[in-house]
Homo-oligomer: A and B are copies of this chain.
Amino acid sequence: MTGFDLDDFLPYQLAVAAARVSRGFADRYREEFGITIPEWRVLAHLSAAGAPVSVREIHARVDMDKSKVSRAAARLERAGLVAKAENAVDRRLVALTLTPAGAALVARIVPVALDWQAEMTARLGSAGDVAAFRRVLARVIEEA
């Protein structure tokens, strides 16, 4: 009637695609590793940083509200995967690090995540299309 089809509308497509993928991932992370996606983001960033990291830094780096980071970190600490210390130089800051258990968990998750990604991209189309997809996706993140 109006000539408008939600299925061809980019924000809708993006939201649906992200929701489906996130759901699949969240289910797997929960069943297999007992963590949520926000927790996974914190773990991943802690692992990549390799050094103590503040809540603020994760918040800025990983697209999560600082309260979300704070709560995820609290859960991870309770689970013994992350250690919270005080930054000696600036006592407002928290110094988050992976515990050995946390590092071990990340080591278990990473290959699973990479496999999942590889298998997924293989199903999505030609290598060229997937490369273009990722280029544009990165652009969306920059520009939006």
Contact = CB atoms under 8 A, between A and B. Distances in A.
Number of copies: 2
Chain A contact residues: helix, strand, loop or mixed = helix
Contacts of A48: 1-2, 4-6
Contact of A141 (B16, B37, B130, B138): B16
21 contacts: A4-B106, A5-B48, A6-B41, A9-B44, A9-B117, A11-B22, A12-B41, A13-B137, A14-B21, A14-B137, A15-B37, A17-B18, A17-B141, A17-B144, A19-B63, A21-B144, A24-B144, A123-B143, A125-B132, A130-B136, A133-B133
Interface residues of A, number: 57
Given A17-B140, A141-B20, A10 B128 contact: no
